[in-house]
Structure 1
Amino acid sequence: MRKMLAAVVSRVLSREAQKPARRVLLASCHYSNPAAIEIKQCDLYRLEEGPPVTAVLTRDDGLKYYRMMQVVRRMELKADQLYKQKFIRGFCHLCDGQEACCVGLEAGINSSDHVITSYRAHGICYTRGISVRAILAELTGRRGGCAKGKGGSMHMYTKNFYGGNGIVGAQGQIAEAFNMAALWKLPCVFICENNLYGMGTSVDRSAASTDYYKRGHFIPGIRVDGMDVLCVREATKFAADYCRSGKGPIVMEMQTYRYHGHSMSDPGISYRTREEVQNVRRKSDPIMLLQEKIINNKLASVEELKEIEGSVKKEVEDAAHFATTDPEPPLDELGHHLYSSNPPFEVRGANQWIKFKSIS
């Protein structure tokens, strides 16, 4: 009996040995971690030294940045679709092409830092912690939006984030802000997302000097490759550390590119050619550049990145479904949340006979 049992066990072990072991399969998936990657040197103004020219990228960070950039890209393309389907009305400014700016910015600061941005804010909304559902629902004016459907594309907020301001860099105001920040040595990083075009005019046709990182005059500045998420991250860390050390403000220009027009009413091809846009996509796309860094440095496989893309696609589709089926806020809540804390009070509507009650 013992011999028969031993023979059976021997045959079972023999068959198991012939099967491909899962441990062997996982062991064959070897990833380098971390990787030291050369990045473009920043241009400096009134500074003796700037950000490093080498960035360390770990596998976890690489996959994190890749997913975030994919989310912003697909979210903006979905917003474009929802606008054309008339689910989104009014103003809507998309930031696809500029994903490295918002992801790199968040990677270089602390969650406790305060961020104020312009109206092209969807990407920074997401990186600051607002979900895709809450962003798209805000765009469609639904109750589940981050501002309860009453802010829309240009007025989104969360903790330590104040987003969607229509006036961006007006000359008199920015000069006054530079002056006050320098006088009081405020820990403020002034950021110019230079996507090379205004509403319909290239920077070369609108500015005698396009060195925006020098516009602070008496404030130091750096010019950054805004299409490289690692370059943005390292430059942001440098700028934040500069401010935290008590040296006062600094100006950071991020050279980037928007694929869409200025707004939804602008096709974006009357003042630039389709070939120019495609050339940027082919040579400098921020997602493509990060993907190449991840693959070339053996931080992840192509299959892993495709899995991330599939997961992101589902997340955005689910969010879009929510944003088109969630109810709109009722009219009697129009005056709610005007202030963060106060006793209820009456708010006049479109005329003096229409009254709303404001509740925090």
Structure 2
Amino acid sequence: MHTFQLLDTTLSLFSTAMRPGSYRRRPKFSREEFTPWAVKWLALLQDMGFFVEIPPDLPESIHAAAPNAPTVRQGTFYANQYEPLPDAEAGGEYITDTPGMDAGLPSDGQASWLRLRGCDHGLPYTECGFFDRLMPLRDVLEFCPGDQAGCATALAVLWLMRGGRRVAGSIGGSALHGPSSGPALEEVALCLENHEVQTGLRNLHRLPEAAALLHKAGFTVSSHKPVLGKQIFAVESGIHVDGIAKNPALYEAYAPESVGLERSIVVGKHSGRAALRLKAAQLGIDLPEAREGRLLAVVQKMAVRQQHSLSDRQFATLCESVNLPSGRKQRAVTTSTKSAATAKGATAAKGAKGATAQPEKRHG
């Protein structure tokens, strides 16, 4: 069976960024702190089925922990070799690198790969024989498309679905590491699985742990980042909430649980009654249908006033205020009015008492 290999180069990117004069964004930890972080990263990604590239300057203990992990050989990078690729008429020249890879993979025993980089603007040429000319090299060619045009994930997926064997990239992709870091591997993986392609990956519910490790390194993942973002399954619009409640597949390309996330209902100015009902049920609140209209009005008013959606605590407080019985509300209002009147009367009495205590004016 044709198997794919998704190679993560995050450790190499970080190692390069920590060298003097590097243009890459530097992690916030020192090289001494990098080693234990790298051990956790390596164990996590291998548990999910990704291959991990280990830079040669990491301690031997890391290499010993993963004897089958690809290792970049020193002195084998030939950067900025410009070669025109087949049928690249208007696309000009593409950058190709050929780093030697000590794969050490027990599955195929292959000792080296050729890494094809760049090709940022190659998407229009995929229907003009671009990949066909490369297929004779598919068993030794490792594709790492750039993301200057925002097409790295699409190029990587097409390469694999057309018969390629291996893609190099990084968890988080260009959003975290820059356009030359290749495609976001988590996006490539989910695209393939959405097309019912067997990737050999597993335990992708641990992807939030990868996002947490990246955050620890100083790389904050956007809450709306595909696959990794915490809020990608949060819905507010009424029609979307109603649709997801009836058939989640209408709006979700993959189940939240498959990537370690949860579906959540957010209430705000775009919410409808369906969203209120689902959110109340999610929080275990009994919301009578007769109260929905009034609750919707106050929810939308508060969301507009604070210019963002409501927190769970705010929503629960509004539900409680709306669900108060009429008599209880009236008593609360009456008590409040009486208290105000009492306070006003006390102030007036105090003023009168002060006036009485003033000494009487003497005449004559």
- Point out which structure has higher relative CO (alpha carbons under 8 A, 6+ apart): 1
Instruction: Please indicate, yes or no, whether the TM-score normalized by the shorter chain is above 0.5.
Output: no
- Which of 1 and 2 has greater Rg? 2
Q: What TM-score do the two structures reach when normalised by structure 2? A: 0.23
